[in-house]
Amino acid sequence: MSRYSEFHARSLQQPEAFWREQSELIEWKSPVDRVLDASRPPFARWFPGASTNLCYNAIDRHLPSRADQPALIYVSTETGTEKTYSFAELHREVNRFAAVLLALGVLRGDRVLVYMPMIPEAVFAMLACARIGAIHSVVFGGFASHSLATRIDDARPKVIVSADAGSRSGKAVPYKMLLDQAIELASFAPEHVLMVNRGLAPMALAPGRDVDFAVERRKQWDSKVECAWLESNEPSYILYTSGTTGRPKGVQRDTGGYAVALAASMKHVFGGEAGETYFSTSDIGWVVGHSYIVYGPLLAGMATIVYEGTPIRPDGAIWWRIVEQYRVNVMFSAPTAIRVLKKQDPALLRRHDLSSLKALFLAGEPLDEPTAHWISEGIGKPVVDNYWQTETGWPIIATPRGVEALPAKFGSPGVPCYGYDVRLFDETTGAEVGSNAKGVVAIVGPLPPGCMSTIWGDDERFVSTYWHSVPGRSVYSTFDWGIRDNDGYYFILGRTDDVINVAGHRLGTREIEESISSHPGVAEVAVVGIADALKGQVAIAFAVVRNPAEVADPAARAQMEGEILKLVDSQLGAVARPSRVHFVAGLPKTRSGKLLRRTIQAICEGRDAGDLTTIEDPTALEQVRLALGGRP
């Protein structure tokens, strides 16, 4: 038996012993007694009764041994700022931030919504929440007012932390107006809005509600805030993610299980060690940012790089310049970003000394073979694909390098990570499928530590959404198709639901449809994700208008399309903007009125549309083909 198989088998057969050992990777205030409470499946409560604190483990714990070593390295090619915070400095800033939150009345268990660009204060805010036991909910800065309002209403934050603006390709992206609109739209009102002023955009403060962080920080200059010792299952954060419905799900994470899972993943998957440097190019608004910009590296005593900028400014060597300058040891990015680099001069990959780098991890979407080869050969380093979700918080499938140097197979993220009992099931019968057959990727419970505890405020939705979708089984569905080869390697074949993945951003087509439907001229709309060479997928909309005269000629169609795209931009944000809106007289549906999204998608991608016996009006397919301009 290989070391990997033994490790994986033990994690499933003796989960208590296995995770008790892993729990020693972090510090507990009151020790771990029980490892798992699975008495109320599918809920899993890890390390019940033991108490700990994420901020303590990320910062305070390292002070005796590495107070003066770098903890947070900030690089912004947008504003030309570079600044390194040692663990001691990070400790000071997080204490100040925590004291500011306390002064604003934030209590343990209160929610704090963080709507921030990639600046150190965003990380201070998250760690400050963790320190006082407040639950942060970071909303990606690329989302606009409607998306933000939905999340405000669901999380009901006492305080919102934001900034005047982000910056993209040298242009300020103002946040404050969007935030004000969102608060206006929402039914729930936060007590305070804490604003970081970067001096990039005007920032009007609402009297009584809005406060300037710089002023509050000065008041708390020497404040020290004790860590709140949380029971392992108390929530650390909520992170909203898209699903099948138009309403995003608040993925709720615990405290102790998450800390253990991340610390274990640093050791067994990423091979990152204390004193080393981790560089994830993600954004704090996504799960990769939570786990592998903020918590994972710091828990391990590593320095983490917070990067604001694109991969190609000032030129396509910027990441590698950062690797050289800060002696980056472990790097994490997404296939999309690599495909962007592929359009640049390959010599840029060799301009800098990359000798410190051990491996480049890529996740978030399928890693195509040509891209994997190109980057791996270009930088001369192993490229490690890994597959996971917002829900799981850390890799489900990878080649865990810290356990055994398993060979990589391009096109496959690898084998199930320890703790995950991954299986494939037939979508209609629920029968387990064997090797080389396509099935829904599912996990037999209990989910390992670090995975979502529930959907915020909605246990019932957690159970019905994730645990009742494979017929006749109570297993966790990933909503991804997969196939396993004879060596036990998995290949991920795309989503089974209406979630699309645009440039690594997970979006719900229903949310986009709801936004488009709010245009008064639109009667009906279908949004599908179709394959795109650069972004993985792009969203395409097919709309039926109320008054056909409004799209009678090309100029009218262009105007209507422009209006719709602007609407999506303003409601959801540019990330959700479809690449095209096509106008059709009717949409393909089943006789019972269900939209045939997969059929539309197949036509757009030039694939066989499959079984069409249930279609209500076959001419609707012709409409789609025609709208695409006769393109396949």
> How far apart (Å, rounded) are the C-alpha atoms in residues 623 and 601?
14
Nearer to ligand PRX, 115 or 361 (CB): 361
Instruction: Give 182-187 contacts, CB < 8 A, sequence gap 24+.
Output: 182/144, 182/145, 182/146, 182/148, 182/149, 182/152, 183/149, 183/152, 185/145, 185/146, 185/149, 186/148, 186/149, 186/152, 186/153, 187/153
Q: Applying CB under 6 A, does 220 fall inside the site for ligand PRX? A: no
Q: Is the C-alpha dihedral spanning 569, 573, 578, 583 positive or negative?
A: negative
CB atoms within 10 A of CB 95: 24
CB of 112 vs ligand PRX, minimal distance in Å: 22
Taking CB under 6 A as the criterion, the residue among 45, 506, 535, 577 binding ligand PRX is 506
Taking CB under 6 A as the criterion, the residue among 388, 394, 476, 583 binding ligand PRX is 388
* 67, 275 contact by CB (below 8 A): no
- Residue corresponding to tokens 């993985």: 536
Q: Applying CB under 6 A, does 249 fall inside the site for ligand PRX? A: no
Nearer to ligand PRX, 128 or 367 (CB): 367
Nearer to ligand PRX, 93 or 365 (CB): 365
Nearer to ligand PRX, 18 or 388 (CB): 388
Q: Between residue 103 and residue 142, which ones bind ligand PRX under the rule CB under 6 A?
A: none
CB of 456 vs ligand PRX, minimal distance in Å: 16
CB atoms within 10 A of CB 14: 12
The phi and psi torsions of 263 (rounded to 5 degrees) equal -60, -40
> How far apart (Å, rounded) are the C-alpha atoms in residues 339 and 366?
12
The DSSP-derived string for 82-95 is: EEEEEHHHHHHHHH
Q: Between residue 287 and residue 306, which ones bind ligand PRX under the rule CB under 6 A?
A: 287-288
CB of 184 vs ligand PRX, minimal distance in Å: 29
Nearer to ligand PRX, 190 or 243 (CB): 243
Taking CB under 6 A as the criterion, the residue among 365, 498, 511, 561 binding ligand PRX is 365
> How far apart (Å, rounded) are the C-alpha atoms in residues 363 and 334?
5
Q: Which stretch binds ligand PRX (CB under 6 A): 273-281, 380-388, 403-411, 593-601?
A: 380-388
Taking CB under 6 A as the criterion, the residue among 56, 387, 420, 462 binding ligand PRX is 387
Nearer to ligand PRX, 257 or 482 (CB): 482
Q: Which stretch binds ligand PRX (CB under 6 A): 42-50, 351-359, 362-370, 598-606?
A: 362-370
* Among the listed residues 31, 90, 83, the one whose alpha carbon sits nearest the alpha carbon of residue 63: 90
Tokens, residue 419: 């703790």
Nearer to ligand PRX, 506 or 535 (CB): 506
Number of residues that bind ligand PRX (CB under 6 A): 22
Mapping DSSP onto H, E and C, the string for 186-255 reads: CCCCCCEEEEECCCCCCCCCCCCCEEEHHHHHHHCCCCCCCCCCEECCCCCEEEEECCCCCCCEEEEECC
Residue nearest to ligand PRX (CB): 390
Site string for ligand PRX, 518-537 (x = CB under 6 A): --------------------
CB of 114 vs ligand PRX, minimal distance in Å: 18
Nearer to ligand PRX, 216 or 365 (CB): 365
Site string for ligand PRX, 155-194 (x = CB under 6 A): ----------------------------------------
Q: Applying CB under 6 A, does 147 fall inside the site for ligand PRX? A: no
The DSSP-derived string for 277-333 is: EEEE-S-TTSHHHIIIIIIHHHHTT-EEEEEES-TTSS-TTHHHHHHHHHT--EEEE
* 527, 539 contact by CB (below 8 A): yes
Nearer to ligand PRX, 261 or 492 (CB): 492
CB of 455 vs ligand PRX, minimal distance in Å: 14
The phi and psi torsions of 489 (rounded to 5 degrees) equal -85, 140
Element (H, E) at 152: helix 145-155
Q: Applying CB under 6 A, does 390 fall inside the site for ligand PRX? A: yes
Taking CB under 6 A as the criterion, the residue among 363, 375, 408, 442 binding ligand PRX is 363
> How far apart (Å, rounded) are the C-alpha atoms in residues 51 and 381?
40
Q: Applying CB under 6 A, does 236 fall inside the site for ligand PRX? A: no
CB of 387 vs ligand PRX, minimal distance in Å: 4
> How far apart (Å, rounded) are the C-alpha atoms in residues 72 and 63?
14
CB of 484 vs ligand PRX, minimal distance in Å: 14
> How far apart (Å, rounded) are the C-alpha atoms in residues 145 and 154?
14
Site string for ligand PRX, 465-504 (x = CB under 6 A): -------------x-x-----------x--x-----x---
Nearer to ligand PRX, 23 or 236 (CB): 236
Taking CB under 6 A as the criterion, the residue among 11, 236, 389, 509 binding ligand PRX is 389
Q: Between residue 255 and residue 294, which ones bind ligand PRX under the rule CB under 6 A?
A: 286-288
* 245, 508 contact by CB (below 8 A): yes
* Among the listed residues 202, 213, 56, 205, the one whose alpha carbon sits nearest the alpha carbon of residue 119: 213
Nearer to ligand PRX, 495 or 557 (CB): 495
Nearer to ligand PRX, 366 or 439 (CB): 366
Q: Residue 558 corresponds to which amino acid? A: A
The phi and psi torsions of 411 (rounded to 5 degrees) equal 95, -15
Q: Applying CB under 6 A, does 241 fall inside the site for ligand PRX? A: yes
CB of 270 vs ligand PRX, minimal distance in Å: 13
Tokens, residue 73: 């390295």
Nearer to ligand PRX, 351 or 495 (CB): 495
Q: Which stretch binds ligand PRX (CB under 6 A): 185-193, 229-237, 381-389, 540-548?
A: 381-389
CB of 397 vs ligand PRX, minimal distance in Å: 7
Q: How far apart are the first and last CA of the chain?
A: 49
> How far apart (Å, rounded) are the C-alpha atoms in residues 603 and 192?
49
Q: Residues, the chain, total?
A: 632
Interacting residues toward ligand PRX by CB under 6 A: 241, 286-288, 363-367, 385-390, 413, 478, 480, 492, 495, 501, 506
